[in-house]
Amino acid sequence: MEDVPNSVLVAGATGGTGREIIRLLDNRSPTVTAMTRSAENEDMLRTLGADQVVVDDLLSPSNLKQTLADVDVILSAVGSSPRAILSSEPLVDGAGNQALIDAAIQTDVDQFIMESALGVGPEPHSALGTIFNIAIKRVQRAKEQAENALREGQIAYTIIRAGILTNGPLTREVTVAKPGTKLWGTISRKDVAWIMTAALVTPELRNSIMEAITRPNRQNGMSVDWALPPRQK
């Protein structure tokens, strides 16, 4: 297990994955700052387990450097709404993550953990990844831009290319594999949150890009000694 970070920031905190990350980190060692675009979400996020809540819009940020001044790790689970996808406005998957990455590099954040999707990137894709690229091409391109910025920046990273997201239970029965393995399947938001939370302290996940599904596929999967940050005493 790697050293436990002192503080983390969860971007996309009100989304399905973001809320589950906060729940998993409740009563664990890192202090958790949740980022939201609306002050109306503050009580809900604190109830889930956030120690602090900051209000800012990644598509028009006002105070990112100050927000990240004491943050060790960013967990970005941002995602665009259907309305945004169908519009011509910038997508938080791309421009929002880019703003967060730029600020993270400038403030010496140690690690950036990002939720992405199967089909992103130049590697060979599964049929599912190909469908993603056709059906949500604009989102996939935005995610790829963010991935490229993260890999090219001077910051440790973990990128999780998740399969079709579901609202299913936390199973911990995940398969993760290197890009190009062509994994095919679904994964619950709870399991994506579990992987992202584990990336805080699991050495095998540092400086890596992984495809991820819930359906066990041991033949193609990586062997990972999964761990989560310890609980507070």
Q: What mean pLDDT is predicted for residues 122-151?
A: 92
d(CA 80, CA 139): 8
Question: What is the residue whose two structure tokens read 């997508």?
Answer: 91
Q: Which one, of 28, 1, 22, lies nearest residue 10 by Cα?
A: 22
* DSSP secondary structure of 8-44: EEEETTTSHHHHHHHHHHTTBSSEEEEEES-GGGHHH
Residue 135 in domain: yes
- The mean of the pLDDT values for the chain is 93
Residue 229 lies inside a defined structural domain of this protein: no
pLDDT tens digits for 3-46? Answer: 899 999 999 999 999 999 999 999 998 999 999 999 999 999 99
Q: What are phi and psi of 86, to 5 degrees?
A: -85, -10
Q: Concatenated DSSP letters for 65-127?
A: HHHTTT-SEEEE-----HHHHHSSSPPIIIIIHHHHHHHHHHTT-SEEEEEEETT-SSS---H
Structure confidence at residue 3 (pLDDT): 85
Give domain status of residue 232, yes or no: no
Q: Does the model's pTM come out above 0.85?
A: yes
Measured distance CA(165)–CA(66) in Å, rounded: 33
Q: Is the residue at 223 inside a domain?
A: no
Predicted local distance difference test score (pLDDT) of residue 61:
94
Residue 221 inside a domain? The answer is: no
172-229, pLDDT tens digit by residue? 999 999 999 999 999 999 999 999 999 999 988 999 999 999 976 666 788 888 889 9
Q: Which structural domain range is residue 149 located in?
A: 7-213
The predicted model gives 90-116 an average pLDDT of: 96
Whether 137 shows a pLDDT value over 80: the answer reads yes
The CATH number of the domain where 95 resides is what? 3.40.50.720
